Structure 1
Amino acid sequence: MHYRHWATMGLMLLLANGKSAFAQHQNQSIPPDTAVRTGKLPNGFTYYIRRNEEPQKRALFYLVNKVGSILEDEDQLGLAHFMEHMNFNGTTHFKKNDLIDYLQKAGVRFGADLNAYTSFDETVYQLPIPTDNPAMVGKGLNIMRDWAQEAILDPGDVDKERGVILEEKRLKEGVGARMQQQTLPVMLNHSRYAFREPIGTDSILKNFPVAAIHRFYKDWYRPNLQALIVVGDVNVDAVEKQIRKQFADLKNPASERPRPEYKIELTGQNQFRSITDPEITATELEMLIKHEGSTIKTTTDYKNAIQKALFNQMLSRRLGELSQQPNLPFLGVKAGVGDLFGGLDQFSYSVTAKPGKLPEAFATTWQLIEQVKRDGFTQAELDRAKLSYATAMESAKKEKSKTPSSSYVSEYQQLFLQGAATPGFDWEYDFVKATLPGITLNDIKEVATHYITATNRDIFLSAPEKEKANLPDSAAVDAWFSKMATMAIQPYSDVATGNVLLKNIPAGGKVVSRSTVAALDMQQLTLSNGVKVWLKPTSYTNDQIQFMSFAPGGINKYPNEEFPTAANTVGIIGGSGLGDYSPVQLSRMLNGKAVSVGAYIGGRSQGVTGGCRSEDLETALQLIYMRYTAPRKDTVLFENAIARSREAVRNKYDDPDNVFRDTVTTVLGGYNYRTSPVTLERLDSISLDKALAIYKDRFADASQANFVFVGNFNTDSIQPLLERYLGALPALNLNEKAVTLHSEVPKGKLVKVVEKGKGNKATVLLVYNGDCAYSAEESLQLQALTEVLQYRLLESLREKAGEVYTPSAQGSMVKEPDPRFAINVSFGCAPEHVEHLVGLVGEDIANLQKHGATSDELVKFKAGYRKQVELQVKSNEFWLQYIAGKLERNEELQPVPDVEKRLKQVTSKSLRSAAGRYLSGENVIRFVSLPEKNNQ
């Protein structure tokens, strides 16, 4: 249902008073959406079809199976997920790799577009299909039909895939996996779920007989456990006719195994587990209270879901306020009601303590939870939450015609898997309109009373190994809860906030010149203070405006001794509120508005970014004006931020991933002071007053600023607002110049090895880099070369060697501050396979340098590039970045280059030449992360 997405963001509705049919009839079944065509074939196969033109000429095909790891027999652990892989390894009508090869030539990218997942309870295959070619719709249905019941399961292919899946499993190794091994069985009450993790076990993945996966496939891949979802720019009647024709002959097994509905039974008991590990970097207490879950099928269910969303929103705001108090004993805290799985819901709470401060961290944060349970919330808090809810619903109503197909797919997936209602947006809008005003403080307090209980409670305490002797035991933690339940707690005091954001409206300026950029159908205004405004109206959304500004300057202007402060200035000052208002006060004042404005200071420029609805444009412009003219400093927030940063740095290198990441960053930054890791000494040098001075300095002069606005607006009607607020920005006419700081990546062939951590895995990163002659044409050649290399690495490292799960090749080319390129090749693997795999990468590169790309590889790249560009150019984000990028690089504003003309320049010969330039190996750095030797 739509509510799922909004509730997650802590948003939603309040609309009108007055009664309706909803208010008169409680606990009715929610009606189905008539816009979706639903059917079930005699064999039990279900289908859902909906026409939707967002995006145009595209459709999403999903095959949903009520089949997951929970159904595996003891000799099949991991085979539900293995079966998902095997459906890409050959079916009756698509032999091994033919499927991926065919789709790539149609512009569908493997991994990014074409994908699948397996969980405890379902396996889902997703396939985006371009529908501008009618034959592709039929082909998409053919693929779905084969995935449903036509996998070949060739023994040789099964054996090859073992290595790939073992490598996928290896990627999960580390401190997180070690912690999960201890917490998951407890969390799942030692139910069947605790012993059916989808990835499986090494012993079975390595040794299972092919007959075991055949048995799993025959038992469970059957039509009465399957559904096909088709949403997009399609002819519904034609698709339904084809589905009924193609899927009617799917067979259920003659001796059908019942499909059990497994659940996690509640025991009424509390559980405790303490975990220490040398790679854990902070002490955290996590608690979850488990409850029977529910699926939204009735109006009462829906009302309960709204109440939980409001509760979560108000609790989150309270915790946010607490986090802005001085001298905090904790680094972070989270709490709220949500889904678990296995038929359960949960109230979850976690607090990360400062060293030695766990009792105080718990007391400070749980006191707030106890306060909410006892006293609930205030009417002002509930009113704000309802208004925020309403704003999101109103925005969604305006964008109804732009709802992406993916939103509908997720709804129908839940309908099939859980029986969740899908009434459609209009019903939901009307229901909330009638229901939200009647939700009371008692309703919200009942949420807390129901979920925050003292039974079915699991507590997990995790900490660095060195803290083991200092951790409390179960009895001590229970005593903490008992003490908190009986202590006196002061009721929450809700401080009133004003409702006038900008007390003195500026006089503003005037447009002194106007021109048209015909090539991009946009206008350029110059204001009397020198500010330039670039306006491009679009209709990609119904009610969205996005904007950004830039002006020369940035933090490069400050010497190294001021760099730590300059680099953190936006975080320090930008996060401290505006004018007379703290972040809490500012958030309250903006409640009910869909607007966001943030400042940034880059290396060579500074400005603002943000977005809003049309009706909130004046508020957005006021916020822009205040970002320039009314920065605010907050000593408490500054000290809290520095304290959090200090603790993050203190144990940072207990995590091997941080060691590797910082090694890469330091080397690629040429060991430059400004790109090297944060240290305690640097943190100590940061000054709040200096940060405010730097912020004011960077935003003191807007005379060189360029503002770009893209979205749904009328250029003439918004001009007075632009004159009033942007025209009032300060103009000192300093004629600043950006400062370019050059950094040198080490030249030659280098190897950097990091040995850290307990996990038996290696990470390899090969960085081919150097100077280049930047141009749009060369950038495209680099992009094509990188993608062709990606195709080859998937074939050689994954399909043939079976020693890698997801090899990656990524390329980039920049014009400023210096024209440079980089191609990064990365993969995870077994430590003993590093040299072999690096050698295979070298062979693929040598082949590209000698022979260039094949005709098939060129077809795949060009098809994917066309589809990507076609979708990208239909978004406000693309045009905002495109226009601002052109302006900042002083490039002529021209239409997006003709795709076909550009692609003609990409040939086998051009890529052979590009491979010689960009993959020569003259400058290549090999980074390798390995486990510590004493752990091997």
Structure 2
Amino acid sequence: MKRIKYHLFHFVVCLLIFIGLIFVPFASETWAKTSSPCLSTLWPHEKSDLPPDPDLIFGKLSNGFRYVLMKNSEPRDRVSLRLNVQAGSLHETDDQQGLAHYLEHMMFNGSEHFPNGELVNYFQSIGMDFGADANAHTGFSETVYDVMLPKGDKQDVEKGLLVIHDYAAGALLSESEIDRERGIILAEKRDRNSVGYRTYVASMKFLFPGIRLNNRMPIGTEDIIRKADQAILKDYYDTWYRPENMILVMVGDVDTEMAESLIKSMFADIVPRATVRSCPEMGTIKNKGTRTFYHFEEEAGDTKTSVQVTWTTDPRPDSLAYEKAILTSYIADTILNNRLEAMTEKPDNPFTSASVYSGVFLGSLGYAKLAAKSAPENWKNVLGLLEQTLRQAIAFGFTASELERVKKDFLADLDKSVLKKDTRKSDELSSLIIDNLNDDKVFQSPEQEKELYGPFIKRLTPEQVHEAFVKVWDRDHRLVLVTGNARISGKDKTPEDTIQAVFDASAETQVKKPVAKQAIQFPYLPEPENPGPVRQQTELSDLGIEQIDFENGVRLNLKKTDFEKNEVIAVINFGFGKKTEPVPGLAMLADAVLSRSGLGNLTENELDRALAGKNTHVQFNIKENSFSLRGKAVSAEVPLLFQLLYAHLKDPGYRKEAHLLVMREFEQMYKKLSHTIEGAMELSGQRFLAGGDSRFGIPPYKDIRNLTLDQIRAWIDPVRNTPLEISVVGDFDPQLVKTLAARYFGSLPLQKKIREKKESLKFPTGKNLVLDVETSINRGMVLVAWPTEDFSDIHRVRRFSALGHVFSNRLREDIREDLGATYSQYAYNDSSRTYTGYGVFRSILFIDPQMSEKIIQEVKKIAADLTKKGITEDELRRAVDPVLTSIKDMMRTNRYWLDTVLNLSTRYPEQLDWCRSVRKDYASITAEDVSNLAKIYLNNKKATAIVIKPVTAERPSGGGTEGK
């Protein structure tokens, strides 16, 4: 099932990245033992009994080059182009490790039709943002190039296809550019290094012994990167960038007949440039019995404990039977995940989070994993609980009520996908198509999935789900891992022996059959009897906005849209949020605790059970200048959305169990933050830039650990009776929303008005801060900042935005590309909506810590040059035109209208006018405007610098997920 599989794919990828099983985007690969190409040149549906989405157009040229086209209307006018090269780091020889990724970088450094330096400039000149609209990534078995065209007319599509053609067959690979890019790749390798990466590499070798990918991390080896030259890069390029190894995917607001004609004329000339090379074999996993693994990382914030199985399997074509088997297994995992989630609410539970998942990646590597995160002293209890939870599921299976809950959720997801089909985003669709192609799976429409899998899900029995779960775990081995900051030592036993003993002792413990849980009802609060009267109603017809003011002071803002079919989002704002924090750290703690506390009568897990089969959620948040309840629903569940919002406002949960869990999570978080440069910025840097104000950044742990639940309640409960502002945007019936708002919120007692206290902050003009981080990761950060202004003048704020884009381009050109001193760099202005007169223009670079002073001088040199000479017209256009493109897209999103226009418009009514002028104002920005702003504000005498560097740098740099 592709849509559910898509959610599973991204859930698994994110989870695997987080816990260290896999570190790069993966795509399944069907491995041929002796011949190329590695994946079949047949389309997945040509080998399957599953029909593909009828909206897809498949084509294949005589040279073997393939393409997939799909007409899609969102975002308007835009077209997503992706070149999918079905080759990655696994295709490298021993002396090419890292060159698939190196080659990906080189595609932006000179090609047949775009000499060095021209490609990025071209992208920006037509309104594309490099990084957002033009990017690439390299994985184990794929290299994908992304281009998001701002228009779908023939001229733009033809030029976009010319770029793709150059990726496929026109790379110049000049020696001078190879040398220039080398420093950037080494900087990226340094950036990717982390405690998690070290753990990942060690764990992979244990989990997949003898498997090729263990020696094919896409970032490669430093020695090979330093020695790479034109000959060896060209060898990989010519060998694997073959027409039959490449698929062009085009999705968007485009004439597909015109596009197909252009593809046929432009790509038919690509020919193989080298002899066919055999695909490498993956290898075979040979695990047996119980094997244990221990990896200590002092700098880790927590300990991860897991029980796993891994195996090799033969690749198989996609089929209805196979998809049903995958779906059944996923449903089993989801049931067990629900059990684990419920366990975290128990005060004596030893872990802070846990999960189970299983599947096959790279076509032939199967895995199943039950894992949990905890404090280091709890690893023994965690391991025992995981072992017994797994054994209980294998022995007794799942209850009918557990299965029914998951069925409802899956069926609701199928329904939602059908209703939202027409407003799916083109870039998301093209990515999903490539995921399926590289996994050798058939891409299907939401209607097809609902028709095929809806009845199947309804018929599933607990016995069938149990059988699927047992089948996954029915292996002749168990792999038991303990990694992170747990110190395991003993005089007579190795750490691995100690782990084995704990696991064996747990296996002797008897497990009991799970007890079925009673159904839970929601809503439980009585409905208000009488709706509240309306005092005033205003219509802003040019914006499609309605404003309804109730007699009790509640404001309702409405904007009905067709941007996202079947989506409704809403937010209730009250009070002044973090700005009014009475003691340091209370806002961060309260936000986390209330988000995990459910409602007064229902725990978080109980509420999830009550809402099984629903697509409505509400979350409490504390923002800089307000408290908020944010909700999302499908159109048919708008009444439920209002019931949930009302329940969260009237009967919030303040649970001791949630407080205990959050405090344990915070302890782990602080340990991790104390050993990373990003953590140092949050713990100290942000507060420094705000003149030492405790409301900025993350407060010291000593300020957090003694805060109580009573302090949270005493701060937040009184402001729930202050004036409410409710904003609703999306695909809804306006009259229904008005009726519901009058019933639930217009009927509340007269709201108590409170005034906002005006405050200002002091920027540390001319001061510098050096932060030392206790870490063995040789990675540093430099931030150079200048004081600016608050948000009160939107005309000025927009020009600051343009200056940020110009500055970012200068950082990329001068420090990344010319010096090769950084991989990640950016600049932006942040003008405060809350604090009078406060704004900060920041430039941030991740660097070799030994280059800190040099980089600071280079950044200040850019600022000095901007203040003295200003910017050129070309720089202005390359900065502003991509913003104009993004504005066009942005204004067709519900989140823009909710968060930028309606949200808090009662306090800031001027923002309703801002949306009227945003396009015209950005288009009117001149080079003189931006140059004058730079001259006034980028004064190096007022600049401050923050340098964050490691205390030690004993270990070599590593690598990770790659992207240009």
TM-score, length-normalised on structure 2?
0.90
Match of 2:873 in 1: 855
Distance apart, 1:295 and its partner CA: 5.8
Q: Which SS does the other structure have where 2:836 is aligned?
A: coil
* C-alpha distance 858-820 of structure 1, shift in aligned 2 (>3 A): same
Higher mean C-alpha displacement, 160-169 vs 633-642:
633-642
| Residues in 2 aligned to 1:698 and 1:768: alpha-carbon distance in whole angstroms | 36
Check conservation: 1:546, 1:612, Cα contact below 8 A: yes
Query: Among 437, 440, 446, which residue is 1:419 paired with?
Result: 440
The equivalent of 1:484 in structure 2 is 506
**What displacement does 1:374 show?**
1.1
Counterpart of 1:514 in structure 2: which amino acid?
Q
Q: Describe the shift of the 1:746–1:455 C-alpha distance in structure 2 as closer, same or farther (beyond 3 A).
A: farther
Distance 1:685 1:147 in 2: 57
Cα deviation 1:547-599 (Å, max 9, x = unaligned): 11223443554643xx5446533433453222322222211111111111223
Candidates 941, 948, 959, aligned match of 1:929 = 948
Structure 1 residue corresponding to 2:725, chosen from 700, 703, 706: 706
Take 1:677 and 1:468, find their aligned partners in 2: how far apart are those partners?
Answer: 34
Q: Which range moves more in the overlay, 354-363 or 102-111?
A: 354-363
| Residue in structure 2 matching 1:721, options 735, 740, 750 | 740
Equivalent-residue separation in structure 2 for 1:422 and 1:934 (angstroms): 47
Q: Is the 8 A contact 1:6 1:392 kept in 2?
A: no
What amino acid maps onto 1:95 in structure 2?
P
| Alignment pair present for 1:916 and 2:935 | yes
Q: Which moved more, 1:615-624 or 1:498-507?
A: 498-507
Of the three residues 558, 577, 583, the one matched with 1:535 is 558
Q: Which residue of 1 aligns with 2:84?
A: 64
Given that 1:289 and 1:346 are in contact with CA atoms closer than 8 Å, whether structure 2 keeps it comes out as yes
**Match of 1:730?**
749
Structure 2 counterpart of 1:475:
497
Letter in 1 for 2:592: G
> Does residue 458 in structure 1 map to residue 476 in structure 2?
no
Q: CA deviation at 1:441?
A: 0.9
Partner Cα separation in structure 2 for residue 275 and residue 574 of structure 1: 33
Which residue does the alignment assign to 1:519?
Answer: 542
Q: Which moved more, 1:481-490 or 1:117-126?
A: 481-490
Distance 2:324 2:784 in 1: 53
How many angstroms does 1:835 deviate by?
A: 2.4
Secondary structure in structure 2 of the residue aligned to 1:203: helix
- Determine if contact 2:639/2:740 at 8 Å carries over to the other structure: yes
Farther-moved stretch of structure 1 (804-813 vs 506-515): 506-515
Correspondent of 1:320 among 328, 334, 341 = 341
State whether residues 294 and 481 of structure 2, in contact with CA within 8 Å, keep that contact through their aligned partners in structure 1. yes
Task: State how far apart, in whole Å, the 2-side matches of 1:850 and 1:748 are.
Answer: 20
- Whether contact under 8 Å (2:210, 2:283) holds in the other structure is no
Say whether the 8 Å CA contact 1:75–1:208 is kept in structure 2.
no
SS in 2 for 1:893: helix
What displacement does 1:81 show?
A: 0.7
Matches within 5 A, 1:337-376: 337-341=358-362, 343-376=364-397
- Contact 2:631–2:645 (CA under 8 A) maintained in structure 1: no
Q: Runs of 5+ in structure 1 lacking a partner? A: 12-26
Displacement, 1:319? 0.4
**Aligned residue number for residue 187 of structure 1:** 207
Residues in 1 aligned to 2:867 and 2:671: alpha-carbon distance in whole angstroms:
46
> Where in structure 2 are the equivalents of 1:805-844 lying within 5 Å?
805-844=823-862
Q: How does 1:188-587 map to 2 (within 5 A)?
A: 188-253=208-273, 255-260=275-280, 262=282, 264-268=284-288, 271-292=291-312, 297-341=318-362, 343-453=364-474, 455=476, 457-464=478-485, 468=489, 473-507=495-529, 508-554=531-577, 556-557=579-580, 559-560=582-583, 563-565=584-586, 567-587=588-608
Distance in 1 between residues matched to 2:914 and 2:857, nearest whole Å: 43
2:628 counterpart letter in structure 1 = G
- 1:516 is aligned with what amino acid? E
Assess if the C-alpha contact under 8 Å between 1:573 and 1:695 holds in 2. no
Q: How far apart are the structure 1 equivalents of 2:921 and 2:658?
A: 51
Task: Identify which of 23, 31, 53 aligns with 2:51.
Answer: 31
Residue 816 of structure 1: how far off its partner (Å): 2.2
Other-structure match for 2:138: 118
Q: How far did residue 895 of structure 1 move?
A: 6.4
Q: Secondary structure at the match of 2:746?
A: helix
Contact kept, 8 Å, 1:556 with 1:739, in 2: the verdict is no
Distance 1:456 1:245, change over 3 A: farther
Q: Structure 1 residues 567, 34: CA separation in 2 closer, same or farther (over 3 Å shift)? A: closer
Aligned to 1:902: 921
Deviation at 1:935, TM superposition (A): 4.2
Matched, 1:691 2:712: yes
Match of 1:107 in 2: 127
Matched to 1:576, the amino acid is S
The runs of at least 4 consecutive aligned structure 1 residues that moved more than 6 Å come to: none
User: Which of 258-267 and 134-143 deviates more?
Assistant: 258-267
SS in 2 for 1:228: strand
Paired position in structure 1 for 2:683:
662
SS of residue matched to 1:616: helix
DSSP-derived class of the 2:664 partner: helix
Letter in structure 2 aligned against 1:636? E
- Are residues 742 and 327 of structure 1, via their aligned partners in 2, closer, same or farther at CA, if it must alter by over 3 Å? farther
Structure 2 residue identity aligned to 1:36 = L
2:648 aligned to which of 621, 627, 643? 627
Question: Alpha-carbon deviations, 1:19-43, whole Å to 9, x = none?
Answer: xxxxxxxx97112233211121121
Summarize the Cα distance change of 1:277–1:515 in structure 2 as closer, same or farther, 3 Å threshold: closer
Q: Deviations over 1:757-812 (max 9, x none)?
A: 21222211112224458311100110111101111111111111112112211222
For residue 823 of structure 2, give the secondary structure of its aligned residue in structure 1: coil
How much does 1:656 deviate?
5.3
State the secondary structure of the residue aligned to 1:806.
Answer: strand
Cα deviations by residue, 1:153-209 (Å, 9 ceiling, x for unpaired): 111111111111111111122323332332222233132211111111111111233
Provide the C-alpha distance between the structure 2 equivalents of 1:118 and 1:934, rounded to a whole number of angstroms: 28
Are the counterparts in 1 of residues 379 and 486 from structure 2 also a CA contact under 8 Å? no
RMSD after superposition? 2.6
Give 1:901 shift. Answer: 3.3
1:217-250 Cα distance to aligned partner (Å, 9 max, x none): 1211110111111111111122112211211121
Task: Find the counterpart in structure 2 of residue 147 from structure 1.
Answer: 167
Are 1:621 and 1:726, in contact at CA under 8 Å, matched by a contact in 2?
Answer: no
1:723 aligned partner, one-letter code: A
What residue is the counterpart of 1:20 in the other structure?
A: none
Letter in 1 for 2:767: K
Partners of 1:83 and 1:217 within 8 A in 2: yes
**Deviation at 1:63?**
0.7
Mapped partners of 2:455, 2:407: distance in 1:
13
Task: Give the TM-score taking structure 1 as reference length.
Answer: 0.93
How far is 1:475 from its partner? Answer: 3.3
Flag the 1:627–1:107 CA change in 2: closer, same or farther, 3 A: same
* Aligned-partner SS, 2:330: helix
Pairwise CA distance, 1:603: 4.8
Cα deviation 1:719-778 (Å, max 9, x = unaligned): 2222211123333x4321123454433222324242532122221111222445831110
Question: What's the offset of the Cα at 1:638?
Answer: 2.4
**Matched residue of 2:471: which SS?**
helix
Unaligned runs of 5+ in 2: 13-46, 956-964
1:182 alignment partner AA: A
2:809 aligns to what?
791
Report the Cα offset of residue 707 of structure 1. Answer: 1.0
